Structure 1
């Protein structure tokens, strides 16, 4: 794997519109456009959601793990299409076969693995698996669309 496809936070922020506290991908480790992506999210006690989820027992919400996978999927798609998104945005459209397997807590490094399944027109289908220390935390299939920003 060539180092030219490893993306740091600056490059990620050039691709995704998300910002603190909702940017959930810290680094892309591996990228094969049109095939797969491997990224990480470092989970720290400084995450705002830990104030209420749950006090004295911090657990990363499962929906945020799925959002991290979706953002990683967005990076995969952006690097798999021929032209830049421009005035378009990548929007989540569906989830299937989602399973949560283990809690994610402060200090964990969440490994995000996304695999391209197929796309038709502007709808992209992927499957994703999030892991900590090799153990699956959540997994599922998801779809997203490339849409005009004006539809929001």
Structure 2
């Protein structure tokens, strides 16, 4: 992916996404090309709250949270193209196609999150998404998302 140099460190990510601890799952954007694709990362730490129960004897990042990290990455790509007011905008998952989990993600892994724009029609955004660890695919899926305006209090 050729990239336009857009710096999205955690401080910028916090201005674009409404998510906060413990559900903010993107630490940094490494590459971003508006209207094309994005590459981000999530450092997977043993301090993540879900590891206490998933699983105490062998901590594994839940697949649904890998998909959520990919959706947040896709949201950052969308917001690079679509001006919005984070206080009055909800970015919602509306569908997942062909989700596959191919590798366990454990504490100490660095999850590389890729989302490629496929199409936008009538308020629905479609992406091809892939999560990797050390160059090995951990999960992949087609993501379908939408943007909804709220009245500022999440309604």
TM-score, normalised to structure 2, is 0.93
The equivalent residue for 2:37 is 36
The equivalent residue for 1:126 is 127
Equivalent residues of 2:4, 2:33 under 8 A apart: no
Classify the secondary structure of the residue corresponding to 1:79: helix
Structure 1 segments, 4+ long, off by >4 Å, are none
Distance (Å, rounded) in 1 between the aligned partners of 2:139 and 2:117: 17
Distance (Å, rounded) in 2 between the aligned partners of 1:29 and 1:106: 21
Distance (Å, rounded) in 1 between the aligned partners of 2:20 and 2:39: 20
Equivalent residues of 1:78, 1:85 under 8 A apart: no
Task: Note the aligned Cα RMSD (angstroms).
Answer: 1.3
The equivalent residue for 1:68 is 69
Deviation readout 1:70-119 (Å, 9 max, x if unpaired): 000000000012x3245221111000000000100000000000000001
Deviation of 1:131 (Å): 0.1
TM-score, normalised to structure 1, is 0.94
How many residues get paired? 150
Structure 2: 5+ residue stretches without partners: none
Distance (Å, rounded) in 1 between the aligned partners of 2:17 and 2:38: 15
Structure 1: 5+ residue stretches without partners: none
The equivalent residue for 2:84 is 84
